[in-house]
Amino acid sequence: MTDKYYVCIDLKSFYASVECVERGLDPMTTNLVVADSERTDKTICLAITPSMKALGIKNRCRLFEIPKNVNYIIAPPRMQRYIEYSADIYGIYLKYISKDDIHVYSIDEVFMDVTNYMTLYNTDAVALGERIMADIYNTFGIRATCGIGTNMYLAKIALDISAKHSPNFIGYLDQDLYKKTLWNHTPLTDFWRVGQGTARRLSALGIYTMKDIAYANEDVLYNTFGIDAELLIDHANGLEPTTMADIKKYHPKSNCLSSGQVLMCDYNFDDGKLIVKEMTDLLCLDLVSQNLITGSITLHVGYSNQAHLNPAHGTTSLDFETNSDLMIIPQVVSLYENIVRRDVGIRRITITCNNVKAEEYVQYTFFADMEKLERNRKMQKAMIEIKNKFGKNAVLKGMDLQKNATTIERNRQIGGHKSGE
């Protein structure tokens, strides 16, 4: 069997690098953070430049945590611009690798199966990675880090750990090298998919390294972590059965569509209900625009941080699968009124349309007012067309203009951050 070679490329401090490049500055020597300073000094920095990391400042810090003696630029988020850069850089990947051998892991990170391309370009994986990184830098002025491995897990670990200590920002791992150099590496949270919670549970078992996991009693691991123990054991031994072909042919058994937001301050019960109406309305438009329907909605409401209460959580089933706001909004509002406390401030809201499917499979009941639903559907379609042509805020409902409504501001955001448009 021919050895596989995977390349994992990450764009260094991507958002901050884009902001530096747009200003004609070098991300490696400029102190810059990407953060919305219009909120509060507690706002989280979405990215900081490598020069600030070199000062010991942590990525994803809050503005007030940056030492007062450090001079730096605050760049407001421009999510649309970052998406444009990411798409253009993806075009560079396509110069070298087929889309069938590329998996976009995030806006600034990709996996590539380069096994068949080394012979094509008469080179090795390291040289190919260097070539792609150089092309990105020469074209956009953005530096990248590269991990190379004989499976996708090792490529990711080479990126996250090994490349950080490499002068050329490239790391390489095969199974033997992984065991030799990283089996005793700490902390365990440096490894992909090992979070603080997992590390604490492993620590309780006297396990602190990947080598410890590899030699641990498997029955104990399965009793503690269930099926997730299989992944831990594989990764501890440098194994990863998933291939690029597996990713490309994967189709989830069920799909959902969700929307969530963290409110800028604690909302009372009635204002929280307004936000739920707005969010549900937008979700309905998303369903219509994608020709999807749902049969149930889940609502998750988190209370004020000062309350120290478990969130309210519930699901409502619809009379039939639909995407009509006429049917869905009243159901979600009723659910909200039934599960949410009236005496506690509200800070977080998430709404999920469960098991969405193509609209062609809809089955109506005899009790549905089809004429009314069809009129409403035409109105929803018209709203979508206007929004697509003139912008999301081109058409608004009365509730969106109320004092504590958030739709207008959220329409100016991407992923909860300013789009920059």
As given in the structure block, the two tokens for residue 347 are 């800070």
Q: Is residue 130 in a domain?
A: yes
What range does the domain containing 188 cover? 183-247
Looking from the CA of 111 toward its CB, the CA atoms found within 13 Å total 22
Question: In this structure, are residues 421 and 80 in contact, taking their beta carbons and an 8 Å threshold?
Answer: yes
- Strand ranges in 39-142 using DSSP code E only, listed in sequence order: 47-48, 73-75, 102-106, 109-113
Peptide bond into 252 cis (omega under 30): no
> Under the phi-then-psi rule, with left for phi > 0, alpha for psi from -120 to 50, and beta for the rest, what region is 291?
left
199 plus 284 within the same structural domain: no
Instruction: Report the number of distinct structural domains present in the chain.
Output: 3
Tokens 């750990």 appear where?
161
Q: Which of 227, 247, 267 is the last residue of a domain?
A: 247
Q: Is residue 131 in a domain?
A: yes
Tokens 């747009």 appear where?
22
Question: In this structure, are residues 353 and 322 in contact, taking their beta carbons and an 8 Å threshold?
Answer: no
265 plus 414 within the same structural domain: yes
Q: Which of 119, 137, 171 is the last residue of a domain?
A: 171
200 plus 70 within the same structural domain: no
The residues of the chain scoring below 70 in pLDDT are 1-2, 254, 361-368, 416-421
Q: What's the CA gap between 393 and 379, in Å, rounded?
A: 16
As given in the structure block, the two tokens for residue 93 are 């990947």
Q: What is the pLDDT of residue 1?
A: 45
292 plus 235 within the same structural domain: no
Torsion, Cα 407 258 82 170, to 10 degrees, reads 160
3 state SS of 150: coil
Residues in contact with 234: Cβ distance below 8 Å, sequence separation at least 6, in sequence order: 153, 240, 241
Question: In this structure, are residues 343 and 387 in contact, taking their beta carbons and an 8 Å threshold?
Answer: no
DSSP conformation letters of 324-339 = -HHHHHHHHHHHHHHH
332 plus 362 within the same structural domain: yes
202 plus 308 within the same structural domain: no
Would you give the end-to-end CA distance of the chain in angstroms? 51
Question: In this structure, are residues 12 and 19 in contact, taking their beta carbons and an 8 Å threshold?
Answer: no
47 plus 106 within the same structural domain: yes
Q: What is the pLDDT of residue 78?
A: 92
Q: Is residue 177 in a domain?
A: no
203 plus 67 within the same structural domain: no
Q: What's the CA gap between 352 and 404, in Å, rounded?
A: 22
Question: In this structure, are residues 179 and 154 in contact, taking their beta carbons and an 8 Å threshold?
Answer: no
Q: Residue 292's closest CA among 360, 346, 235?
A: 360
Q: What is the pLDDT of residue 230?
A: 96
3 state SS of 353: strand
Q: Is residue 27 in a domain?
A: yes
CATH number for the domain spanning 243: value is 1.10.150.20
Q: Which of 214, 247, 280 is the last residue of a domain?
A: 247
Q: Is residue 410 in a domain?
A: yes
207 plus 69 within the same structural domain: no
368 plus 264 within the same structural domain: yes
Residues in contact with 28: Cβ distance below 8 Å, sequence separation at least 6, in sequence order: 49, 50, 51, 143
Q: Is residue 66 in a domain?
A: yes
State phi, psi for 46 to the nearest 5 degrees: -70, -25
Q: Is residue 331 in a domain?
A: yes
- DSSP class of residue 55 equals T
As given in the structure block, the two tokens for residue 214 are 């590899």
CATH number for the domain spanning 23: value is 3.30.70.270
Q: What's the CA gap between 314 and 174, in Å, rounded?
A: 47
Q: Is residue 252 in a domain?
A: no
195 plus 92 within the same structural domain: no
Question: In this structure, are residues 163 and 146 in contact, taking their beta carbons and an 8 Å threshold?
Answer: yes
Q: What's the CA gap between 164 and 147, in Å, rounded?
A: 10
Predicted model pTM:
0.80
Question: In this structure, are residues 74 and 35 in contact, taking their beta carbons and an 8 Å threshold?
Answer: yes
371 plus 325 within the same structural domain: yes
CATH number for the domain spanning 376: value is 3.30.1490.100
